[in-house]
Structure 1
Amino acid sequence: MNTGPAPNPTTPDPTPSGAAARLRIVLVGTQHPGNIGSAARALKTMGLERLVLVAPEKAPNAESYALAAGADDVLAAAVVVPTLAEAVADCTLVLGCTARSRRIALDEHDPRDAAGRAVAAAAGGAEVALVFGRERTGLENDELQLCHAAIHIPANPGYSSLNLAAAVQVLTYELRMAVLAMAGAATAPGGDRDPPASHAELEGFFAQLGDALDAIDFHKGRAPESAMRKLRRIFLRADLDVREVRILRGVLADVERMAMLAGQRDRG
């Protein structure tokens, strides 16, 4: 059921195209062509255009176009590839939408945090993919291994069944809100901040953070993974820009230098 007025093709979309143009939605092994059409509608409604289909069981058909409800251009432009690896080969950030699982150790985000991270990376020039699995079984382990982090929609645990297209709508809505928030920040007083740190810049910072913590024996013999996961979440929530990452890395460099000097004094 259409819950709003008919689309007006002459109404301009205020969403800036830069970040949105580098966001893609990837559907893996889709079993029902209607869900492909509904997903295309979700993308177009939220100002996105790039849909990638990985080995769908059935190609888009008349039912797909019927449920696309006018998003025919998104559906017609959908790229079909045989594997997820091919679908995300040029991506810097890959986020997999999945139920909670202990099988694969991935950092986990809720939709809002994931969208913020995705849009920040895209605004920095990165290609970003949000990946959705099969209707019945979701993403397989080898597919999750290709993702940098997981997205979990916190549905009612007593009834957590969520249609694929509905899940796509949840995530595309959050993506749009993140893009609009970024546009608002850019035009607000003081909105001329440095560009958001890229995925690669953040990963370089996290690697240096891990080395610095090891240098000062922060973990005291405990496994570092749990503390690093928590620290990653803290810094990812901060939405660091390029200059902030540079400052933090300078601090860490001094920490490592002082730790090395302290070690030399102890040996002397």
Structure 2
Amino acid sequence: MTRSARRTRRTRRTLQVACAGAAALLALSACSSSDDSSTKSDSSDSSSKKLSGTVTVFAAASLKESFTALGKDFEKAHPGTKVTFNFGGSDSLAAGITGGAPADVFAAASPKTMKIVTDEKDAAGAPSTFVRNQLEIATLPGNPDKVASLKDLTTSGLKVVLCDKTVPCGAAAQKALDAGDLKLTPVSYEQDVKSALTKVELKEADAAVVYKTDVKAAGDKVEGVDFPESADAINDYPIALLKDAPNADAAKAFIKLVQSAEGQKVLTAAGFLKP
């Protein structure tokens, strides 16, 4: 083979290797670009998912003021959504949920009432405690009967209202009375804490055992009296996404707001204790 022929053959081989290398680099670049594009697309889809529709929240009556405020915050942060609430005694709300009432979120005033829902497999996952609440005596403005302790509520002639024993605030009140070895016969048992408080606000009762949060929400309509036995009856408040939630995505976002620093700020300002 002549020198000229060998030179031509070497040149052809070099060009073939170079072309193969360039093709490999182009393929690698294309794959990398495709992967990056896919990752960015996935991330974008996840972060920009728009929430819409109604979120139905069943919540303990004592959460009315704070949850109403959080509902407005949620709607403002997510245009196109609406949060509707069903406030009441936790036991009644739990019965409604297990009976098939459509709801997305359940926030109860005690683990016992939440258990009614979880035992029926109506929660989508394990509930989590998001706040705690402590009892307080609500008296008429100025405390004309000079109520200074839980024992004072047993004074003859004093009209006292309690929550029903099946309701978390009623069960907690009974626990506090047991801790103080006290017996009390109220003029009425109410189905939720707001109803008990209303009796005092309307001057139909002289005092009621309610939550600190309710006394605070009532402002100057009542006067609060602390009592040491309340430390033995603090209620944990659990919240859960419901299994058949019609709007699960928005419901999860609402629960996240409740548990966030922003949500906790609203709740503690209302008088709730941190979990």
TM-score range, shorter chain: under 0.3
Larger radius of gyration: 2
Give the number of the structure with larger relative contact order, counting CA–CA contacts within 8 Å between residues 6 or more apart: 2
Tell me the TM-score normalized by structure 1: 0.22
Tell me the TM-score normalized by structure 2: 0.22
Greater share of strand residues, 1 or 2? 2
